[in-house]
């Protein structure tokens, strides 16, 4: 599969082209739009989300809700464009309006200006913005539906917000009941996290967190130990790291594995006639040698606090080269719930690519038949 996104945060909209979805997949548009609504919600979101009402419009590759095997084009329009077209319209506008030169530490502003030879950080930040993730969620939901047709499920939850951390372990089913306020699994912890977000808002600051992503129903042998680029953990880690503000990824035990003895890390192997090969533990997070081993995939991703702070940090005004405080008009205090939705989408998209590469096939029917034939 090949996926490309385009679009600016305050431009006309966000767009994606997905190549390689087989013919014959019946799409559930409401499920896609439900995921888009969830990405916009969650405690700690900013004023922009009161303007947008994200919905996916499918422009190509689908007829009567069934995929044709041709490239699928999906659009998510920006309602805020109406307020910005005077300085954003591709067909002509006043670029002197809403310039940004008090570059924000931690954002793409300064590095992008230098790299692309820009005098106005708007020419960089409009694309670097996490607004892009709206269309990635639409793509991810299409890919989730393809995986679902094979019996592969993806779920996740918010494991920590700032220092408020959930140290419990949960079975896959429990994740499906996670809260739609912050995406956590314990009401007690979520209440504490909300207090932290409120305190952060009062201070004009921002807060990050950690999300756990899990995949159930993936048979063994996806990804490959034969070339480094094909390793499943490497591909999924890259997909997670590609999400705006993600600064760390763990697989299974992750960094904890480095502190333990080998006997406390590796999952011993068993066999019975009903289950075939299995492990009683899953510290590897479902990946050995860069290949799925038939156990659940377990990944975690750490999101840094958003770099637009209302109580802005010190920076330099690139127009004058004088010390200044960074630009801030409005900002999310904490977008961890949105990030969790996006991370799930990133997993769905990359995993669908991995699965499609191994199974091949022009139709969903062929893919399903080949998947059924594989050993567990």
Burial class (CB in 10 A: 0-12, 13-18, 19+), 271: exposed
Phi, psi of 209 (to 5 degrees): 175, -175
Q: Which two tokens stand for residue 254?
A: 């992750």
120 binds ligand EPS (CB under 6 A): no
Q: Which of 67, 308, 315, 345 binds ligand EPS (CB under 6 A)?
A: 308
56 binds ligand EPS (CB under 6 A): no
* Number of residues located near ligand EPS, criterion CB under 6 A: 14
- Measured CA to CA, the distance from residue 279 to residue 294 in angstroms comes to 9
153 binds ligand EPS (CB under 6 A): no
Q: What is the DSSP letter of 229?
A: G
Q: Which two tokens stand for residue 277?
A: 């090969």
- Measured CA to CA, the distance from residue 109 to residue 328 in angstroms comes to 13
9 binds ligand EPS (CB under 6 A): yes
Nearer to ligand EPS, 25 or 207 (CB): 207
CB 303 within 8 A of CB 160: no
Q: Which two tokens stand for residue 48?
A: 């922009």
Q: Which of 267, 295, 332, 350 binds ligand EPS (CB under 6 A)?
A: 332
Q: Which of 18, 44, 113, 131 binds ligand EPS (CB under 6 A)?
A: 131
User: How wide is the angle at C-alpha 157 spanned by C-alphas 233 and 195, nearest 5°?
Assistant: 135
- Measured CA to CA, the distance from residue 39 to residue 336 in angstroms comes to 10
Q: What is the DSSP letter of 102?
A: B
Nearer to ligand EPS, 48 or 144 (CB): 48
Stretch that binds ligand EPS, among 112-120, 130-138, 194-202, 278-286 (CB under 6 A): 130-138
- Measured CA to CA, the distance from residue 347 to residue 359 in angstroms comes to 18
Q: Which of 5, 101, 129, 353 binds ligand EPS (CB under 6 A)?
A: 129
Stretch that binds ligand EPS, among 44-52, 64-72, 254-262, 294-302 (CB under 6 A): 44-52
Stretch that binds ligand EPS, among 128-136, 152-160, 262-270, 360-368 (CB under 6 A): 128-136
330 binds ligand EPS (CB under 6 A): yes
Q: Least separation, in Å, of the C-beta of 1 and ligand EPS?
A: 24
Chain residues binding ligand EPS by CB under 6 A are 9, 46, 48, 52, 125, 129-131, 133-134, 308, 330, 332, 338
């Amino acid at each position: 599969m090949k996926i490309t996104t385009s679009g600016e945060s305050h431009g006309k909209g966000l767009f994606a082209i997905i190549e390689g979805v087989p013919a014959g997949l019946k799409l559930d548009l409401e499920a896609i739009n439900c995921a888009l609504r969830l990405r916009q919600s969650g405690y700690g979101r900013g004023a922009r989300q009161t303007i947008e009402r994200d919905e996916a419009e499918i422009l190509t590759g689908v007829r009567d809700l069934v995929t044709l095997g041709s490239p699928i084009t999906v659009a998510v329009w920006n309602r805020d464009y109406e307020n910005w077209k005077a300085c954003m319209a591709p067909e002509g506008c006043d670029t002197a309006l809403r310039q940004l030169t008090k570059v924000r530490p931690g954002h793409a502003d300064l590095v992008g200006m230098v790299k692309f030879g820009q005098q106005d950080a708007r020419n960089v930040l409009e694309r670097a913005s996490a607004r892009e993730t709206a269309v990635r969620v639409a793509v991810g939901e299409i890919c989730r539906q393809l995986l679902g047709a094979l019996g592969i499920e993806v779920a996740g939850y918010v494991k920590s917000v700032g220092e408020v951390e959930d140290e419990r372990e949960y079975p896959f089913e429990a994740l499906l009941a996670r809260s739609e306020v912050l995406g956590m699994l314990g009401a007690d912890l979520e209440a504490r996290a909300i207090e932290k977000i409120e305190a952060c808002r009062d201070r004009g600051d921002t807060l990050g967190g950690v999300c756990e992503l899990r995949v159930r129903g993936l048979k063994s042998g996806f990804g490959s130990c034969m070339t480094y680029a094909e390793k499943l953990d490497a591909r999924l880690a890259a997909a997670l790291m590609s999400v705006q503000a993600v600064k760390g990824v763990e697989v299974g035990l992750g960094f904890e594995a480095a502190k333990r003895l080998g006997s406390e890390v590796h999952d011993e192997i068993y066999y019975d006639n009903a289950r075939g090969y299995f492990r009683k533990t899953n510290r590897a997070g479902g990946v050995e040698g860069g290949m799925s081993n038939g156990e659940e995939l377990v990944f975690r991703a750490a999101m840094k606090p958003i770099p637009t702070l209302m109580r802005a940090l010190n920076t330099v005004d690139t127009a004058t080269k004088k010390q200044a405080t960074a630009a801030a008009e409005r900002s999310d205090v904490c977008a961890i719930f949105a990030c969790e939705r996006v991370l799930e989408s990133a997993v769905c998209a990359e995993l669908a690519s991995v699965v499609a590469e191994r199974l091949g096939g022009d139709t969903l029917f062929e893919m399903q038949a080949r998947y059924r034939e594989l050993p567990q």
